[in-house]
Copies of this chain bind each other. A is one copy, B any other.
Amino acid sequence: MKDENTHYGVKEIARRANVSIATVDRVIHNRPGVSEKTKKKINDIIIELDYQPNVLASRLASRKIISLAVLIPRVSEETDFWEAPLRGVMRAESEIKKYGIQVLPFFFDLNDKHSFTEQAELILKKEVQGILLAPSFIEESRQLITACQKLKIPVVFIDSNVPEQDNLCYIGPHLFQSGYVGAKLLTYRLKENHKVLVVNISKEKDNYSYLQIEDGFRSYFKDHSQPCEIIRIDIKDTDKLSVTKDLTRVLFEHPDIEAIFVTNSRVFSVASFLENAGRKDISLIGYDFLKENIRFLKEGMIDFLICHKPEEQGFRGLMALYQTLVLGSPVEKVHFMPIDIITKENQAFYQN
Protein backbone atom coordinates (compact mmCIF):
# COMPACT_ATOMS: atom_id res chain seq x y z
CA MET A 1 0.00 0.00 0.00
CA LYS A 2 2.76 2.44 -0.90
CA ASP A 3 1.32 5.37 -2.76
CA GLU A 4 3.15 8.58 -3.65
CA ASN A 5 2.66 9.65 -0.07
CA THR A 6 5.64 7.62 1.06
CA HIS A 7 7.38 9.82 3.53
CA TYR A 8 10.84 8.99 4.68
CA GLY A 9 11.92 9.63 8.22
CA VAL A 10 15.09 9.97 10.23
CA LYS A 11 15.55 6.23 10.17
CA GLU A 12 15.83 6.10 6.40
CA ILE A 13 18.17 9.09 6.38
CA ALA A 14 20.38 7.39 8.95
CA ARG A 15 20.42 4.19 6.97
CA ARG A 16 21.42 5.94 3.76
CA ALA A 17 24.09 8.02 5.48
CA ASN A 18 25.44 5.08 7.41
CA VAL A 19 25.09 6.92 10.70
CA SER A 20 22.83 6.66 13.72
CA ILE A 21 19.57 8.55 13.93
CA ALA A 22 21.03 10.55 16.81
CA THR A 23 23.48 12.08 14.40
CA VAL A 24 20.72 12.77 11.92
CA ASP A 25 18.81 14.48 14.66
CA ARG A 26 21.82 16.66 15.45
CA VAL A 27 22.08 17.78 11.87
CA ILE A 28 18.36 18.45 11.53
CA HIS A 29 18.42 20.75 14.54
CA ASN A 30 21.78 22.31 13.82
CA ARG A 31 23.20 21.01 17.04
CA PRO A 32 26.98 21.03 17.39
CA GLY A 33 29.18 17.98 17.48
CA VAL A 34 28.95 16.66 13.94
CA SER A 35 31.86 16.64 11.49
CA GLU A 36 31.41 18.81 8.45
CA LYS A 37 31.66 15.77 6.25
CA THR A 38 28.83 13.75 7.75
CA LYS A 39 26.84 16.92 8.16
CA LYS A 40 27.02 17.55 4.43
CA LYS A 41 26.24 13.95 3.60
CA ILE A 42 23.15 14.00 5.79
CA ASN A 43 21.96 17.36 4.53
CA ASP A 44 22.22 16.13 0.97
CA ILE A 45 20.08 13.13 1.74
CA ILE A 46 17.58 15.33 3.54
CA ILE A 47 17.21 17.42 0.43
CA GLU A 48 17.11 14.44 -1.87
CA LEU A 49 14.38 12.77 0.12
CA ASP A 50 12.54 16.04 0.66
CA TYR A 51 12.40 15.11 4.30
CA GLN A 52 9.42 16.51 6.20
CA PRO A 53 9.74 16.17 9.95
CA ASN A 54 6.77 14.73 11.76
CA VAL A 55 5.73 17.47 14.13
CA LEU A 56 3.60 15.14 16.17
CA ALA A 57 6.41 12.77 16.89
CA SER A 58 8.80 15.60 17.49
CA ARG A 59 6.62 17.36 20.02
CA LEU A 60 5.68 14.08 21.65
CA ALA A 61 9.25 13.00 22.16
CA SER A 62 10.52 16.35 23.30
CA ARG A 63 9.24 17.09 26.74
CA LYS A 64 10.37 20.68 26.44
CA ILE A 65 7.78 23.37 26.93
CA ILE A 66 7.88 26.40 24.68
CA SER A 67 6.92 29.61 26.44
CA LEU A 68 5.49 32.53 24.52
CA ALA A 69 5.03 35.93 26.13
CA VAL A 70 2.16 38.22 25.23
CA LEU A 71 2.47 41.92 26.01
CA ILE A 72 -0.69 43.91 25.39
CA PRO A 73 -2.62 46.66 27.14
CA ARG A 74 -4.66 45.74 30.17
CA VAL A 75 -8.43 45.74 29.75
CA SER A 76 -9.54 48.90 31.50
CA GLU A 77 -12.90 50.23 32.59
CA GLU A 78 -12.48 52.76 29.84
CA THR A 79 -12.50 50.23 27.05
CA ASP A 80 -12.76 46.50 26.64
CA PHE A 81 -11.04 46.53 23.28
CA TRP A 82 -8.12 44.40 24.38
CA GLU A 83 -10.38 41.61 25.52
CA ALA A 84 -10.63 40.46 21.93
CA PRO A 85 -6.94 39.97 21.12
CA LEU A 86 -6.51 38.23 24.45
CA ARG A 87 -9.37 35.93 23.58
CA GLY A 88 -7.69 35.14 20.29
CA VAL A 89 -4.42 34.40 22.06
CA MET A 90 -6.16 32.07 24.47
CA ARG A 91 -7.92 30.30 21.66
CA ALA A 92 -4.60 29.78 19.92
CA GLU A 93 -3.07 28.50 23.12
CA SER A 94 -5.79 25.94 23.65
CA GLU A 95 -5.26 24.73 20.10
CA ILE A 96 -1.52 24.29 20.40
CA LYS A 97 -0.93 23.49 24.03
CA LYS A 98 -0.98 19.86 23.05
CA TYR A 99 2.28 20.62 21.29
CA GLY A 100 3.72 21.73 24.60
CA ILE A 101 3.25 25.43 24.17
CA GLN A 102 2.54 27.74 27.05
CA VAL A 103 1.41 31.36 26.96
CA LEU A 104 2.60 33.89 29.53
CA PRO A 105 0.42 37.00 29.45
CA PHE A 106 1.76 40.40 30.51
CA PHE A 107 -0.24 43.60 30.60
CA PHE A 108 0.65 47.25 30.60
CA ASP A 109 -1.31 50.40 31.26
CA LEU A 110 -2.02 52.46 28.16
CA ASN A 111 -1.73 55.61 30.24
CA ASP A 112 1.66 54.68 31.64
CA LYS A 113 4.76 54.14 29.56
CA HIS A 114 6.64 53.02 32.57
CA SER A 115 4.41 50.00 33.06
CA PHE A 116 5.34 48.92 29.54
CA THR A 117 9.07 49.02 30.22
CA GLU A 118 8.53 47.25 33.50
CA GLN A 119 6.66 44.36 31.96
CA ALA A 120 9.12 44.17 29.09
CA GLU A 121 11.94 43.64 31.53
CA LEU A 122 9.98 40.95 33.31
CA ILE A 123 9.53 39.14 30.04
CA LEU A 124 13.22 39.26 29.24
CA LYS A 125 13.96 37.64 32.57
CA LYS A 126 11.53 34.82 31.91
CA GLU A 127 13.57 33.52 28.98
CA VAL A 128 10.66 33.03 26.66
CA GLN A 129 11.08 31.75 23.12
CA GLY A 130 8.82 34.29 21.42
CA ILE A 131 6.86 37.46 22.06
CA LEU A 132 3.55 38.79 20.84
CA LEU A 133 3.53 42.55 21.23
CA ALA A 134 1.18 45.50 20.89
CA PRO A 135 3.80 48.22 20.30
CA SER A 136 1.66 51.06 21.62
CA PHE A 137 4.70 53.01 22.78
CA ILE A 138 7.04 53.29 19.88
CA GLU A 139 10.32 54.14 21.58
CA GLU A 140 9.87 51.64 24.37
CA SER A 141 8.93 48.97 21.85
CA ARG A 142 12.05 49.70 19.85
CA GLN A 143 14.15 49.03 22.92
CA LEU A 144 12.48 45.74 23.62
CA ILE A 145 12.90 44.64 20.04
CA THR A 146 16.57 45.48 20.03
CA ALA A 147 17.04 43.32 23.09
CA CYS A 148 15.12 40.49 21.47
CA GLN A 149 17.17 40.72 18.32
CA LYS A 150 20.30 40.04 20.31
CA LEU A 151 18.67 37.09 22.04
CA LYS A 152 17.25 35.88 18.71
CA ILE A 153 13.74 35.94 20.08
CA PRO A 154 11.11 36.46 17.37
CA VAL A 155 8.62 39.26 18.00
CA VAL A 156 5.20 39.63 16.40
CA PHE A 157 3.37 42.96 16.32
CA ILE A 158 -0.36 43.31 16.38
CA ASP A 159 -2.75 46.27 16.25
CA SER A 160 -0.14 48.77 15.07
CA ASN A 161 3.18 48.55 13.32
CA VAL A 162 6.60 49.95 14.06
CA PRO A 163 8.17 50.17 10.66
CA GLU A 164 11.82 49.56 9.89
CA GLN A 165 12.10 47.22 12.78
CA ASP A 166 13.47 43.71 12.64
CA ASN A 167 10.44 41.91 13.91
CA LEU A 168 9.07 38.59 12.72
CA CYS A 169 5.86 40.08 11.33
CA TYR A 170 3.04 42.55 11.69
CA ILE A 171 -0.57 41.44 11.85
CA GLY A 172 -3.03 44.29 11.89
CA PRO A 173 -4.85 46.96 9.95
CA HIS A 174 -3.74 49.04 7.03
CA LEU A 175 -4.61 52.24 8.87
CA PHE A 176 -4.45 54.61 5.92
CA GLN A 177 -6.85 52.53 3.87
CA SER A 178 -9.08 52.10 6.87
CA GLY A 179 -9.51 55.85 7.16
CA TYR A 180 -10.15 55.92 3.44
CA VAL A 181 -12.98 53.43 3.85
CA GLY A 182 -14.32 55.53 6.71
CA ALA A 183 -14.52 58.54 4.45
CA LYS A 184 -16.30 56.58 1.77
CA LEU A 185 -18.91 55.35 4.22
CA LEU A 186 -19.36 58.84 5.52
CA THR A 187 -20.24 60.14 2.08
CA TYR A 188 -23.28 57.89 2.08
CA ARG A 189 -24.65 59.97 4.90
CA LEU A 190 -23.81 63.41 3.62
CA LYS A 191 -26.68 65.63 2.53
CA GLU A 192 -26.26 69.29 1.63
CA ASN A 193 -23.51 71.29 3.22
CA HIS A 194 -20.89 68.54 3.34
CA LYS A 195 -19.29 69.56 6.57
CA VAL A 196 -17.75 66.84 8.67
CA LEU A 197 -15.98 66.60 11.98
CA VAL A 198 -13.01 64.38 12.72
CA VAL A 199 -12.63 63.54 16.40
CA ASN A 200 -9.59 62.06 18.05
CA ILE A 201 -10.09 61.13 21.67
CA SER A 202 -6.93 59.99 23.34
CA LYS A 203 -4.73 60.65 26.32
CA GLU A 204 -1.67 59.11 24.75
CA LYS A 205 0.36 61.78 23.12
CA ASP A 206 2.55 59.32 21.34
CA ASN A 207 -0.03 57.31 19.57
CA TYR A 208 0.47 58.09 15.93
CA SER A 209 -1.96 55.50 14.62
CA TYR A 210 -4.75 57.98 14.23
CA LEU A 211 -2.58 60.18 12.04
CA GLN A 212 -2.48 57.49 9.41
CA ILE A 213 -6.21 56.99 9.71
CA GLU A 214 -6.88 60.69 9.37
CA ASP A 215 -4.50 60.83 6.45
CA GLY A 216 -6.46 58.14 4.64
CA PHE A 217 -9.70 59.85 5.54
CA ARG A 218 -8.63 63.15 4.02
CA SER A 219 -7.13 61.46 0.99
CA TYR A 220 -10.49 60.09 0.01
CA PHE A 221 -11.92 63.55 -0.40
CA LYS A 222 -8.85 64.72 -2.25
CA ASP A 223 -8.96 61.74 -4.62
CA HIS A 224 -12.61 62.33 -5.38
CA SER A 225 -12.34 66.09 -5.38
CA GLN A 226 -15.46 66.21 -3.30
CA PRO A 227 -16.15 69.57 -1.82
CA CYS A 228 -16.09 68.80 1.85
CA GLU A 229 -15.15 70.95 4.77
CA ILE A 230 -13.31 68.97 7.43
CA ILE A 231 -13.24 70.29 10.97
CA ARG A 232 -11.02 68.46 13.42
CA ILE A 233 -10.76 68.30 17.17
CA ASP A 234 -8.43 66.60 19.63
CA ILE A 235 -9.99 65.62 22.90
CA LYS A 236 -7.13 65.06 25.28
CA ASP A 237 -9.06 63.43 28.03
CA THR A 238 -11.27 60.44 27.80
CA ASP A 239 -13.75 61.18 30.54
CA LYS A 240 -17.35 62.07 29.80
CA LEU A 241 -17.04 65.64 30.96
CA SER A 242 -14.16 66.53 28.67
CA VAL A 243 -15.85 64.93 25.71
CA THR A 244 -19.10 66.74 26.39
CA LYS A 245 -17.41 70.08 26.89
CA ASP A 246 -15.29 69.90 23.76
CA LEU A 247 -18.03 68.59 21.54
CA THR A 248 -20.55 71.12 22.80
CA ARG A 249 -18.17 73.89 21.89
CA VAL A 250 -17.34 72.64 18.41
CA LEU A 251 -20.96 71.93 17.58
CA PHE A 252 -21.89 75.37 18.76
CA GLU A 253 -19.30 76.90 16.46
CA HIS A 254 -20.32 74.59 13.61
CA PRO A 255 -23.98 73.76 14.03
CA ASP A 256 -24.17 72.59 10.43
CA ILE A 257 -21.88 69.59 10.84
CA GLU A 258 -23.53 66.63 9.15
CA ALA A 259 -21.34 63.74 10.18
CA ILE A 260 -18.66 62.81 12.67
CA PHE A 261 -15.78 60.44 12.15
CA VAL A 262 -14.08 59.19 15.31
CA THR A 263 -10.60 57.84 14.70
CA ASN A 264 -10.71 55.15 17.36
CA SER A 265 -12.94 52.99 19.48
CA ARG A 266 -14.12 55.81 21.71
CA VAL A 267 -16.94 56.54 19.33
CA PHE A 268 -19.37 55.43 22.04
CA SER A 269 -18.67 58.53 24.08
CA VAL A 270 -19.50 60.71 21.09
CA ALA A 271 -22.64 58.65 20.52
CA SER A 272 -23.62 59.14 24.12
CA PHE A 273 -23.09 62.86 23.80
CA LEU A 274 -25.13 63.12 20.62
CA GLU A 275 -27.93 61.12 22.16
CA ASN A 276 -28.10 63.40 25.17
CA ALA A 277 -27.78 66.48 23.01
CA GLY A 278 -30.67 65.27 20.89
CA ARG A 279 -28.58 65.48 17.73
CA LYS A 280 -29.77 62.33 16.01
CA ASP A 281 -29.44 64.14 12.72
CA ILE A 282 -25.68 63.80 12.82
CA SER A 283 -24.23 60.65 11.31
CA LEU A 284 -21.53 58.87 13.23
CA ILE A 285 -18.77 56.50 12.22
CA GLY A 286 -16.06 55.02 14.37
CA TYR A 287 -14.02 51.99 15.23
CA ASP A 288 -14.25 48.63 16.89
CA PHE A 289 -16.73 46.07 17.98
CA LEU A 290 -17.03 47.05 21.64
CA LYS A 291 -20.12 46.30 23.66
CA GLU A 292 -20.91 49.96 24.11
CA ASN A 293 -20.38 50.71 20.46
CA ILE A 294 -22.65 47.87 19.43
CA ARG A 295 -25.36 49.19 21.70
CA PHE A 296 -25.29 52.54 19.95
CA LEU A 297 -25.07 50.82 16.58
CA LYS A 298 -28.23 48.90 17.35
CA GLU A 299 -29.95 52.06 18.56
CA GLY A 300 -29.03 53.79 15.34
CA MET A 301 -26.85 56.42 16.98
CA ILE A 302 -23.79 54.98 15.25
CA ASP A 303 -24.11 54.39 11.52
CA PHE A 304 -21.03 52.32 10.85
CA LEU A 305 -18.31 50.65 12.81
CA ILE A 306 -15.07 49.76 11.13
CA CYS A 307 -13.30 46.80 12.58
CA HIS A 308 -10.05 44.97 12.05
CA LYS A 309 -10.70 41.61 13.66
CA PRO A 310 -8.85 42.11 16.93
CA GLU A 311 -9.49 38.57 18.09
CA GLU A 312 -8.02 37.17 14.93
CA GLN A 313 -5.01 39.41 15.34
CA GLY A 314 -4.31 37.79 18.67
CA PHE A 315 -4.95 34.34 17.31
CA ARG A 316 -2.86 34.73 14.20
CA GLY A 317 -0.12 36.51 16.06
CA LEU A 318 0.38 33.58 18.37
CA MET A 319 0.09 31.10 15.54
CA ALA A 320 2.79 32.98 13.66
CA LEU A 321 5.15 32.41 16.57
CA TYR A 322 4.14 28.77 16.67
CA GLN A 323 4.80 28.49 12.98
CA THR A 324 8.37 29.72 13.15
CA LEU A 325 9.27 28.17 16.44
CA VAL A 326 7.71 24.74 16.11
CA LEU A 327 7.05 24.16 12.45
CA GLY A 328 9.98 26.22 11.26
CA SER A 329 7.93 27.41 8.33
CA PRO A 330 8.20 30.98 7.07
CA VAL A 331 5.62 33.66 7.87
CA GLU A 332 4.69 36.73 5.89
CA LYS A 333 6.32 39.89 7.12
CA VAL A 334 3.13 41.92 6.93
CA HIS A 335 -0.37 40.54 7.15
CA PHE A 336 -3.07 43.18 6.83
CA MET A 337 -6.40 42.46 8.39
CA PRO A 338 -9.58 43.05 6.44
CA ILE A 339 -11.33 46.39 6.91
CA ASP A 340 -14.70 45.16 8.07
CA ILE A 341 -17.80 47.30 7.81
CA ILE A 342 -20.34 46.71 10.53
CA THR A 343 -23.88 48.03 10.46
CA LYS A 344 -26.91 47.50 12.63
CA GLU A 345 -28.02 44.86 10.19
CA ASN A 346 -24.99 42.62 9.97
CA GLN A 347 -23.55 43.06 13.46
CA ALA A 348 -25.18 39.96 14.87
CA PHE A 349 -23.01 37.72 12.72
CA TYR A 350 -19.76 39.56 13.01
CA GLN A 351 -16.76 37.54 14.04
CA ASN A 352 -14.12 39.53 15.73
Binding site for B on A (CB under 8 A): 54-57, 59-60, 98-99, 174, 177, 180-181, 184, 188-189, 220, 336-341, 343-346, 348-351
Assembled-state Cα–Cα distance A339/B349 (Å): 7
Assembled-state Cα–Cα distance A351/B313 (Å): 13
20 A–B contacts, CB within 8 A, in A order: A55-B98, A56-B56, A56-B60, A56-B98, A177-B345, A177-B346, A177-B349, A181-B343, A181-B346, A184-B343, A184-B344, A188-B188, A220-B345, A336-B349, A338-B340, A338-B349, A338-B350, A338-B351, A340-B340, A341-B343
Assembled-state Cα–Cα distance A174/B351 (Å): 14
Assembled-state Cα–Cα distance A337/B349 (Å): 7
User: Which of B56, B337, B348 contacts A177 (CB under 8 A)?
Assistant: B348
Closest residue of B by beta carbon distance from A352:
B338
Taking CB atoms, residues of chain B closer than 8 Å to A60 are 54, 56-57, 60
The smallest C-beta distance from A315 to any residue of chain B, in angstroms, reads 13
Taking CB atoms, residues of chain B closer than 8 Å to A341 are 340-341, 343, 346
Assembled-state Cα–Cα distance A167/B26 (Å): 49
Taking CB atoms, residues of chain B closer than 8 Å to A344 are 184
Q: Contacts A56-B99, A338-B351 known; list 7 others, CB within 8 Å.
A: A56-B57, A177-B349, A184-B344, A184-B345, A188-B189, A337-B349, A338-B346
The smallest C-beta distance from A170 to any residue of chain B, in angstroms, reads 14
Question: For A56, A59, A184, A220, which residue has the most chain B Cβ atoms within 10 angstroms?
Answer: A56
Assembled-state Cα–Cα distance A338/B352 (Å): 10
Taking CB atoms, residues of chain B closer than 8 Å to A98 are 54-56
Taking CB atoms, residues of chain B closer than 8 Å to A184 are 343-345
Taking CB atoms, residues of chain B closer than 8 Å to A340 are 338, 340-341, 346
The smallest C-beta distance from A42 to any residue of chain B, in angstroms, reads 23
Question: For A174, A338, A341, which residue has the most chain B Cβ atoms within 10 angstroms?
Answer: A338
Taking CB atoms, residues of chain B closer than 8 Å to A339 are 345-346, 349
The smallest C-beta distance from A215 to any residue of chain B, in angstroms, reads 14
> With A188-B188, A338-B351, A340-B340 given, is the CB distance from A345 to B56 under 8 Å?
no
The smallest C-beta distance from A61 to any residue of chain B, in angstroms, reads 10
The smallest C-beta distance from A303 to any residue of chain B, in angstroms, reads 10
Closest residue of B by beta carbon distance from A174:
B349
